[in-house]
Structure 1
Amino acid sequence: MSPAVATDSREPGADSPIAKRLLLGDPLTSAKLDDQLLPKRMALPIFASDALSSVAYAPQELLMILLTGGMAFLAFSPFVALAVVVLLIVVVVSYRQLIKAYPSGGGDYEVASKNLGEVPGVVVAAALLVDYVLTVAVSVASGVDNIISAIPGLNPFRVGLAVGFVILIVVVNLRGVREASLLFAIPTYVFIASVVIMVVVGLARTALGDPPIASSAEFGVEGESLAQAAVILLVLRAFSSGCSALTGVEAVANGVPAFRRPKVGNAQMTLTMMGLIAIVMFAGLTTLALISGVHYAENPCNLIGFDCDNPQPSLMAQVASATFGMGSIPFYVIQAATACVLLLAANTAFNGFPLLGSVLARDGYAPKALNTRGDRLVYSNGMIILGVVAVAVLVVYQANLTTLIQLYIIGVFVSFSLGQIGMVRHWRRSLRNLKALSPEAAQAPSAISERRSSRTGLAINSLGATLTVFVLLIVTVTKFTHGAYLVFIAIPILATLMIGVNRYYRDVEHEIEPDDQTHFGSEGDVAIVLVGRLQKPVIKAIDYALAARHDQTFAVHIAVSAEESEKLQQQWSEHSIPVPLTIVESPYRTFASPVAQFIKQWRQEHGSSVVTVYLPQYIVGHWWESLLHNRRARRIANQLMLIHGVSITVVPWLLDSTELIYGRRSRPLPGQERSGLPAGQPAHHHHDRATRPAGPPDKSVAEPPQS
C-alpha cells in the first residue's frame, strides 16, 4: 500500500497578513507556475520595454553631445544614427544565435562561464547586475523628466516622484509576472503606436512642404572650439550615448524560461519584433528631431535665448509639440505614453535581475535566498534588493538623467562583448567536434545541418564580437571621466564578492559531505531541563523531556542568588517534581558558560553522551511584549548550539496575548463549560497549558507520585 500524502487544504493566503494580501494578492500554488508563462504578445512589453523606451532618450543624448561642439556638428548625426542602427541589427541577430544555443536563461553569463571560464562569467554577471540597477535608475529618471516636461511645476519633487515610482513598480512585479504583463502591455503598445503615428505625420508634413518646427529651433548654441582630435572624440562620444538604444536587448536571452513553449522560437520572434520596432522608432525620431530643428543642450544655459531657470523640455516633448501642437490631445497622449513606458522600462530589469540572481544562486555565486520563489511564484528577494539599490542610486544622483546616463551602458557592453566572444568559442568547439566524426557520421544529414548552422553562427557572432568590443572601447574612453569609472570600480568588487560567496558554499559543502569517518550510535542520551523558577513553562518542559524517554533526565538551575536557589529547592520538594534538581553556582552571573562546563564535566565522568537541553520560552502576541522579556532562552540556545553533541529543544509557552495571532478571542464553544474549560478560553489554548501524565517512567528517576 502506498503511503498517504497530506495536502495543505487551507484557503490561499490564510496565514498571510491582510496588508500583504491586499498589495500582492493571494499566494499561488507551485502547480500554477505554467500559468505564469508568457505568450509573445505579453512577453514583448515585459522584456522589450527597456529597449523600446530607450529610443525616447537615445536620440536626445546623441544630439545633445554633438551640440556641445556647435550647430555645425549636427551634420554628423545621420551617420552616427546609422552606425547605431547597424550595431543594433548585428546585436539582435547575434542574440538570436545565443538564445538558440543557450535557452536556459543564463544568457551572457552562462555563455561566458561555459566557454571562457569562471572569472569572465562572474564579470559578465556583475556587469549585468550593475546594468540592471542603472536601467531602473535611468528609466525612472527619464520618465520623471518627461512628466516634468509636460508639467514643469513638478520639478521640485523630482526625487520623490522617482522613488515613489520605483516602489510602485516593485509592488506590481511582486504580484506576479502575468499580472505585471497585463498592466504593462497597454502603455507599451500605446507608446509604440503613438510614436509611429507621430513619425508618419511628421514625415508626411515635411513631404507636403509644412515641416514641424521645434520650440528650440530658434535658439542658438554656444559651441566649444575643438581641435581635430577633439572633434573625433566628440563624435565617438555621441555614438556611445546613442548606443544606449541597445540596452535591454540581452533581457530576452535572460528571460527565455518565462516564455511559453516553444520557448526558443517565441523568444527569438520577440527579440526580432523588438529590434525592428526599436530601429523604426529610433531612426524616425532622430529624423524628425533634425527636421524640426530640436536643440537640446547638456547645459540649458548654453542655449542662446532660453530661460535656463525653467526645465528644458525633452526631445520627445519638443518633437510632439512641433508635430501636433503644444497642449494638444496627441501631445499629452505621447507624453503620457512616453512617461509610462519609460517608467515601465524598469520592469525589464525587474524580470532580468531576479532571473539572473536565481541562476547565480543555483550555481553558488549568490545567496541561496535569491533562488526562492515568493507567494506569487516570482523571485521576490531579487526584486526587493534591486528596488532598494535603485532607490539609493536615484537619491544619490538626485534623479538627474544627464548624470545617470554617463554610468549607463558600460555594463551592458561588457556583457555583450564577453558573451559574443564566448559564442565564437562555442561555435569553434562545435566545428572541431564535427571534424572529429567518422566519414560516415560526418555525411549524415543532421551533421551537415549542424555544420552549416555552426558556420553561420560563427560568422554572425564573430561580427558581433568585433563590433561590441570596439564599441566597449569607445564607450570606455568617452565616458570614463564623466562618471563611468564608478562602474569599473563596482563590477570588480561585485565579481570578487560573488567568487567569495562561491568559495564559501564550496567549503561548506566539502565540510558537511558524508564520509567513512561519520559514525552512528552515540553512547548515552541525557536530557537537561534548564530551570530559573518553578513555573508552568518549566513543568511543561519537564513533561516533554520525560515523554521523550531519555536515558537520564535532570533539571539544572544556574544559581546567581542563594535565596532564589533555596526557594527553588523547597518548591521542588513541596511539588514532588519527578526529576532530580542540580544546582550549578555562577559567581559571575552568566548562564550559558556554567551549563557548558556542567556538560563537559558530565561527559568526563560518564562518557560522550548525546545531550538535549530543554529551554522554556515565552511566545507573545504584542511586539512591545518582547521588549519586556529578557529573551534569555534565545541567548543561551545560541551559545549552547556551539557545543558539539548538544541539541536544543525550545519548549514554547503561549501567553494569553498570542490569541491576537489567531484573531479575536473566541466565545465559549458549545460543551466547553461541561468539559471543564474556563469560559472564553479556546480549547487549543488550554491544551497547550495542560501537563500530560508522565507516561512510562524515566530510567533515571523514581516513579512519579500518583494523585
Structure 2
Amino acid sequence: MVSTVKRFLIGKPLKSTELGEQKLTKTKALAILSSDALSSVAYGPEQILLVLVTIGSIALWYSIPIAIGILILLTALILSYRQIIFAYSHGGGAYVVSRENLGAKPGLIAGGSLLVDYILTVAVSVSAGADAITSAFPALHDWKVAIAVVFVIFITVLNLRGITESASVLAYPVYLFVLALLILIGTGLYQIVTGAVPSDLHASIGTPVAGISLFLLLKAFTSGSSALTGVEAISNAIPNFKDPAPNNAAKTLTAMGIILAILFSGITYIAYYFGVTPSETETVVSQIASETFGRNWMYYFVQGTTALILILAANTGYSAFPLLAVNLSKDKYLPRMFNNRGNRLVYSNGILTLAVAAILLIIVFNGNTEHLIPLYAVGVFIPFTLSQTGMMLKWLKEKPTGWVSKFTVNTFGAFICFIVTMMFIITKFAQVWPVFIFLPIIVSFFYKIRKHYDTVGEQLRVSADEDVPEIEGNIIIVPVSGITRVVEHSLNYAKSLHASQIIAVYVGFDRESIITFEEKWKKLHPDVRIVTLYSYYRNIVGPLGKFVDLVSHKAEQSHYSVTVVIPQFIPKKGWHNMLHNQMSLMVREFLLHKKNVIVSTVPYRLKK
C-alpha cells in the first residue's frame, strides 16, 4: 500500500547510472535556481515603500535612489559570485569558501545561516504567493496559511520526483512571470511617456521631506535588499549543471542578474510614478497591474504568474538546501542520512526536512511575510559577507594571474555586504534579534554532531596492538510465551548454534499458570532448561531484563557471550500487525541497549 502510493506520487526508482541525465541545462537552471531572486521583485520594492510611507507619501521618491544603490549591490554580488563559481567549481558556495579560507567556525556560521535562509526561502515564497492569491480573491484571506501549507506539500512532492522533472514544470511559470512583468513595465512606461498617467500622482525627486532621517533611509535600503536573496543559490548548486558546469553556472548567474535588475528597477520606478502606496490587503504589483490594465484578463495574468513564481520560488530552497546539507554531512556536521540519495536520485531526506521546517515557520508566523523577510535577508547577508572575505584571503594567499582585479571585486563585495549586514542589525534589531540566538545554537549543534562522529570513529577503529578477548562459549536465552510453532522454530534455530547452554524463559502473571506451563514444558522439552519468572505488575520486559542482566554478568566473568533469541511471527498481510501486541518488538528494543548481550530475531511467517 505504502509503496504503491509512493510510486504514484514520486514515480518509479531511477538507476544510479541515470544520474548524468538529471543534470540541468542553462534554461532549466535559470528557472529552478533563479526563481527565488526573480520572485523577490514582487515584494522587494514593496518593502522599501513600507518603510518610506511611515513618513508620508511625499517620501516615496526616495525609492529611486535607494533602488539605484541596490542595483550597485546586485552588480557587486554577481561579479563576486562569478569568482566563486570558477574558484570552487565543485559547489558548496559560502560554506565551502568560508570553511577553507576563514576556518571551521566561520564556515559553520555561513552554513548555518544558509540552512535557515533556505527554510525561510520556502516559508517567505509560499506565504507571499498566498498573499498574491488573496489580493486577487479577498474572500480567501482567512485561508492564507492553509493555502501556503498546501503549496509547500505540492512543491515537496514535485522535488521528490527528481530535479529535471521539477525544473521542467517550473520553467513555464518562471518565464511567464518574466514575460508578464516585462509587459507590465513596458505598458506602464508607454503610458507614462504618452502622458496617460497624470504627473501629479507623485512627489518630484528632490522634494524636501520633513522628518526624513539617515536611519530611516538605511532601514528602507536594507528592506529593499531582501530582493537580492537567492543570488548565491547558483554557486551552491554547480554540481547540478551539465558540463562544462562552471561556465554554464556563470552564464546562468549573469542572465539572472540582468533580468533581476530590469524587473526590480522597472517595478520600483512605475510604483513611484503611479504614486502607489503599500496596502495590507493588496500588494504593490497588484495595484500597478490594476492601474495599468484595469481588472481584466491581463491583470489576472500578471497576478496569476506572480502568485505562481512566488510559490514556486521556494524551489530554490529545495535545490540548494539538500546540496548544502550534503556538504555539511560529508564534513560530519550533519547526520549522514543527508548524504543519501532517494529513489529518484535526489537527496530526499534534505527535501523532507526542509518541508517540515518551512511548514512549522508558516504556522508559527501565521504566513506573515513582513515578519519573516528581515530574518530571511539578514540570514543571507551574513554568508555573503563571509564568502567575499574568504575569497579576499584566497587571492592574497595564492596570488594567481590577474589576482589584483579579483581581489578588488571581492573586497568591494565584502565591504558592501558587511555594511548591509550591519544596517540590518542596527535598523531592524527588533526583528532580527532571533538570529543571535538560533545561529549559536545551530553552530553548537554542528559541533556536537561532529564530536559524536569522532567519538564513534575512535571506538570503532581497529588497532593492530589491541587485545580483543576471545569468546569461550555462548549462552542462549529464548523468551517464550507458550508452546507454539513459533517457539519450536526458534528452539530449533538455537540448537543449531551448538550453544554451551540454552535457557527458555517464561514470564507469568499468576502462580497456577506458571506451574502448569512448567509441567507441560518438561514433558515436551526435557532437554531444554526452563526458567519461570513471576511478574507482580504484569510486566514482561522488566523481569526478563533483570534475568538477562544476571546471566550476562556471570557469563562475562567466564568470557561467555549471551544471545537472546526472540521468536516472532510475521502475519501474511501488513495490517494484521495491528491485531497483535508486538511484545517481541518491545523486548528486542529493550534488550538492544543491554551491555554484552546479542539479540537475534527468528521470524516465523504465517501463510494465511
For the criterion TM > 0.5, the same-fold answer is: yes
1: CA distance, partners of 2:36 / 2:436: 23
Assess if the C-alpha contact under 8 Å between 1:212 and 1:322 holds in 2.
no
Is the Cα contact below 8 Å between 1:553 and 1:579 reproduced in 2?
no
CA distance in 2, matches of 1:213, 1:543: 95
> What is the Cα deviation at residue 641 of structure 1?
3.0
Aligned counterparts of 1:642 and 1:320: Cα–Cα separation in 2? 64
Partners in 2 of 1:69 and 1:542 — Cα distance? 84
**CA spacing shift, 1:166–1:268, aligned 2, 3 Å:** same
State whether structure 2 residue 598 is matched by structure 1 residue 652: no
Higher helix fraction (1 or 2): 2
Structure 1 pair 627/201, CA: closer, same or farther in 2 (3 Å)?
closer
Q: Do the aligned residues in 1 keep the contact of 2:89 with 2:246 (CA within 8 Å)?
A: yes
| Pairing 1:425-436 to 2, within 5 Å after superposition | 425-431=393-399
In structure 2, which of residues 507, 531, 552 is the aligned counterpart of residue 583 of structure 1? 531
2:333 corresponds in structure 1 to 365
**Inter-partner Cα distance in structure 1 for 2:321 and 2:144:** 25
Q: Aligned equivalents of 1:132 and 1:322: distance in 2?
A: 34
In the alignment, is residue 401 of structure 1 matched against residue 392 of structure 2?
A: no
Q: Tell me, in whole angstroms, the C-alpha distance in 1 between the residues paired with 2:285 and 2:535.
A: 77
**263-272 or 586-595, larger mean C-alpha shift:** 586-595
Once the two structures are superposed, residues 590-643 of structure 1 have per-residue CA deviations (whole angstroms, 9 ceiling, x without a partner) of 111112212333454xx2122322110233467775565443333333343344
Aligned-pair CA distance for 1:405: 2.1
The question of 1:260 aligning with 2:242 is answered: yes
Contact 2:61–2:202 (8 Å) recurs in 1: no
Are 2:585 and 1:634 aligned?
Answer: yes
Letter in 2 for 1:164: V
The answer for the alignment partner of 2:381 in structure 1 is: 413
Mapped partners of 2:556, 2:304: distance in 1? 75
- The amino acid of 1:592's aligned partner reads G
Letter in 1 for 2:391: M
Provide the secondary structure at the position in 2 that maps to 1:649: strand
2:228 to 231, 246, 254: 246
For 2:583 and 2:308, the matched residues in 1 are separated by 53
What SS does the corresponding residue of 1:406 show, helix, strand or coil? helix
One-letter amino acid of the structure 1 residue matched with residue 136 of structure 2: A
Aligned match of 1:5: none
Alignment of 1:346-495 (within 5 A): 346-431=314-399, 450-452=400-402, 454-481=403-430, 483-495=431-443
Cα separation, partners in 2 of 1:103 and 1:368, compared to 1, 3 Å: same
The answer to whether 1:566 aligns with 2:515 is yes
Q: Deviations over 1:145-175 (max 9, x none)?
A: 1112222221121111111111111111111
Which residue identity does 1:540 align to in structure 2? H
Q: Match of 1:322?
A: 291
- Cα offset for 1:586? 4.8
C-alpha separation between the residues in 2 aligned to 1:630 and 1:135?
44
Q: Given the alignment, which residue of 253, 257, 275 partners 1:271?
A: 253
CA RMSD of aligned residues (A): 2.4
Does structure 1 residue 517 correspond to structure 2 residue 466? yes
Q: 1:610 & 1:45 partners in 2: Cα distance?
A: 60
Distance in 1, matches of 2:585 and 2:130, equals: 48
Cα gap change, 1:603/1:428 in structure 2, threshold over 3 Å: closer, same or farther?
Answer: closer
> Aligned partners of 1:616 and 1:108: how far apart in 2?
53
Quick one: distance in 1 between partners of 2:532 and 2:269?
Answer: 87
Give the C-alpha shift of residue 264 in structure 1. 0.8
TM-score by length of 2: 0.93
Q: 1:642 to 1:403 in 2, by over 3 A?
A: closer
Which fold has the larger relative contact order, with Cα–Cα distance below 8 Å and residues 6 or more apart in sequence?
A: 2
Identify the residue that residue 445 of structure 2 maps to in structure 1.
Answer: 497
Aligned match for 1:205, one of 163, 168, 191: 191
Q: Which residue among 469, 477, 499 is the counterpart of 1:528?
A: 477
Matched residues, number: 598
Q: In the alignment, residue 98 of structure 1 is paired with which amino acid?
A: I
Counterpart secondary structure, 1:407: helix
Closer/same/farther in 2, CA of residues 584 and 203 from structure 1, 3 Å limit: same
Residue number in structure 2 paired with 1:131: 117
1:544 aligned partner: 493
Note the C-alpha offset of 1:521: 3.8
Alpha-carbon offset, residue 401 of structure 1: 2.4
* One-letter amino acid matched to 2:288: V
Q: Distance in 2 between matches of 1:226 and 1:563?
A: 94
Structure 1 residue 339: deviation in Å?
A: 0.6
Aligned to 2:565: 614
CA distance in structure 2 between the partners assigned to 1:295 and 1:602 by the alignment? 81
Cα separation, 1, equivalents of 2:418 and 2:572: 60
Q: Secondary structure at the match of 1:210?
A: coil
Kindly tell me: are residues 212 and 36 of structure 1, through their superposed partners in 2, closer, same or farther at Cα, counting changes over 3 Å?
A: farther
Check 1:212–1:574 CA distance in 2 against 1; reply closer, same or farther (3 A cut).
farther
The aligned residue for residue 89 of structure 1 is: 75
Letter of the structure 1 residue corresponding to residue 294 of structure 2: M
Q: Distance in 1 between matches of 2:593 and 2:256?
A: 56
Q: Report if aligned partners of 2:202, 2:274 keep a CA contact under 8 Å in 1.
A: no
Tell me, what secondary structure is at the counterpart of 2:278?
coil
Relative to 1, partners in 2 of residues 1:153 and 1:640: Cα closer, same or farther, differing over 3 Å? closer
* Structure 2 CA distance for aligned equivalents of residues 86 and 623 of structure 1: 61
**Residue-by-residue CA offset, 1:92-121 (whole Å, 9 max, x unaligned):** 110011111112221101111111111111
Separation in 1 of the partners of 2:352 and 2:135?
30
Aligned to 1:338: 306
In 1: Cα distance, 2:47 partner to 2:380 partner? 17
Distance in 1, matches of 2:508 and 2:63, equals 84
Sequence identity percentage: 37
Contact 1:558/1:594 (8 A) holds in 2? no
Range that drifts further, 86-95 or 621-630: 621-630
Q: Which runs of 5+ in 2 are unaligned?
A: 204-208
Displacement of 1:358 in angstroms is 1.7
Does the CA-based 8 Å contact 2:202-2:272 persist in structure 1? no
Q: In the aligned structure 2, how far is the partner of 1:513 from the partner of 1:136?
A: 41
How big is the shift at 1:655?
A: 4.0
Q: Could you tell me which residue of structure 2 aligns to residue 179 of structure 1?
A: 165
Unpaired runs of at least 5, structure 1: 1-14, 220-224, 301-310, 432-449, 657-680, 682-707
Separation in 2, partners of 1:35, 1:520: 51
| 2:42 match | 56
Q: Which amino acid aligns with 2:196?
A: D
Rounded Cα–Cα distance in structure 2 between residues aligned with 1:320 and 1:114: 47
CA gap 1:72/1:463 in 2 versus in 1, 3 angstroms: same
Tell me how far 1:520 sits from its aligned partner: 6.4
Which amino acid letter does the alignment assign opposite residue 48 of structure 2? L
2:244 maps to a residue whose letter is P
Which residue of 1 is the match for residue 206 of structure 2? none
Q: Secondary structure at the match of 2:232?
A: helix
Question: Quick one: distance in 2 between partners of 1:556 and 1:281?
Answer: 76
Letter in 2 for 1:593: K
Tell me which moved more, 591-600 or 465-474: 591-600
Cα distance in structure 2, aligned partners of 1:145 and 1:174:
26
Compute the TM-score of the two structures, normalised by the length of structure 1: 0.80
CA 168–559 in structure 1, closer or farther in 2 if over 3 Å, else same: closer
C-alpha separation in 2, matches of 1:603 and 1:383: 46
- Write the distance in 2 (CA, Å) between the matches of 1:361 and 1:425: 25
Determine the structure 2 residue equivalent to 1:165: 151
| 1:557 CA drift (Å) | 3.9
Tell whether the 8 Å contact from 1:122 to 1:499 is kept in structure 2 after alignment: no
Q: Distance in 1 between matches of 2:432 and 2:183?
A: 36
